[in-house]
């Protein structure tokens, strides 16, 4: 039995989505590799990682698509984020909700859709990991469980990417601090420059070069802590996905998936 999401939480869902700062970001290897692996395992011509804001469906990574966004009203994933379980449409052309969609009624004439929502720890559904095909089909129960496991892995990567952007911002701030210190050392008569994009507590450190050094040390420690968090988050992501695959009962599906996971488990850890 499916559990459905209240539409009254849409404002909070959008707010949660924006907090991850994932929309309109460049391609990232981890997401690109994941959709490629899913496409091979499920033998699907189209795989996409989608996020839905107020009016559009934005596509973070995909196989088989040559665009990065669509109108939300024409997104099947718009229905996927209304319930916590898998959404499977064996034949889009005979489902009155989707039969008139341009990509169903016209080229490329999609028929099959299966998607699993990307759920945050707070329970908000930001988007979906979905597969599409030009022919009708069904997923076996274990395949549905595997798609759900990959969707959870996608959400873990969303969280990792958000933390990594924070890590990058801190290091960029440290770079600006180092430049300010260098300019001050060259001409101590110049006032300490105001540096934007630093933590709220920056003001008390911007009155002297010693303060800048102290702030740099604080940011270095914060970056080090985030780096440790990132390594642990990546480790947990690998453990969770591998555990889901190890529990598969179908030997062929299990062996196939474990083979593709080897590439995904060679991600380079972030270093300070």
CB 198 within 8 A of CB 237: no
Question: Is the model more confident about 90 or about 168?
Answer: 90
Nearest to 174 by CA among 213, 209, 225, 226: 213
Query: Which segment of 75-84, 144-153, 233-242 scores lowest on mean pLDDT?
Result: 233-242
As to burial, measured by CB atoms within 10 angstroms (0-12 exposed, 13-18 middle, 19+ buried), residue 125 is: buried
Q: Starting at the earlier edge strand, list the strands of the sheet with 69-71.
A: 69-71, 56-63, 46-52, 125-133, 112-119, 87-89
CB 192 within 8 A of CB 207: yes
Give the C-alpha distances (Å, rounded to integers) separating 149 from 11, 38, 59, 112, 241.
27, 11, 19, 20, 6
Nearest to 46 by CA among 114, 107, 145: 114
Residue 270, pLDDT score: 42
Residue 242, pLDDT score: 87
At 8-35, the pLDDT tens digits run 588 899 999 999 999 999 999 999 999 9
E strands, 76-224, are 87-89, 112-119, 125-133
Q: What is the mean pLDDT of the chain?
A: 85
Name the pTM for this structure: 0.84
Task: Provide φ and ψ at 68, rounded to 5°.
Answer: -120, 0
Instruction: Select the CATH number that applies to the domain covering 7-139 from these four: 3.30.450.40, 2.40.30.10, 3.30.1490.20, 3.40.50.10070.
Output: 3.30.450.40
pLDDT category of residue 245 using cuts at 50, 70 and 90: confident
Cα–Cα distance measured from residue 4 to residue 83, given in angstroms and rounded to the nearest whole number? 4
Q: Locate the domains of the chain by residue range.
A: 7-139, 161-264
Cα–Cα distance measured from residue 182 to residue 197, given in angstroms and rounded to the nearest whole number? 19
- % of residues, the chain, pLDDT over 70: 83
Q: What is the DSSP letter of 247?
A: T
């Amino acid at each position: 039995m499916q559990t459905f999401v209240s539409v009254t939480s849409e404002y909070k869902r959008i707010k949660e989505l924006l907090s991850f700062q994932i929309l309109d970001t460049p391609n990232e290897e981890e997401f690109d590799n994941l959709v490629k692996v899913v496409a091979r395992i499920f033998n699907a011509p189209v795989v996409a990682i989608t996020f839905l804001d107020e009016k559009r469906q934005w596509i973070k990574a995909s196989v088989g698509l040559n665009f990065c966004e669509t109108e939300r009203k024409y997104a099947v994933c718009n229905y996927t984020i209304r319930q916590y379980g898998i959404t499977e449409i064996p034949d889009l052309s005979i489902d009155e909700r989707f039969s008139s969609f341009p990509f169903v009624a016209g080229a490329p004439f999609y028929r099959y859709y299966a998607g699993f929502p990307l759920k945050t720890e707070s329970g908000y559904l930001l988007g979906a990991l979905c597969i599409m095909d030009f022919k009708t089909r069904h997923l076996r129960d274990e395949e549905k469980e595997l798609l759900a496991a990959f969707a959870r892995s996608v959400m873990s990567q969303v969280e990792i990417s958000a933390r990594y952007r924070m890590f990058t911002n801190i290091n960029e701030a440290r770079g600006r601090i180092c430049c300010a210190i260098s300019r001050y050392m060259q001409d101590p008569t110049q006032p300490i420059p105001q540096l934007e994009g630093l933590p709220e507590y920056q003001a008390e450190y911007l009155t002297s070069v010693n303060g800048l050094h102290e702030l740099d040390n604080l940011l270095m420690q914060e970056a080090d802590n985030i780096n440790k968090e990132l390594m642990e988050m990546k480790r947990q992501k690998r453990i969770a996905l591998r555990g889901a695959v190890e529990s598969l009962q179908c030997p062929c599906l299990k062996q196939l998936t474990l083979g593709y996971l080897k590439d995904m488990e060679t991600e380079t850890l972030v270093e300070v």
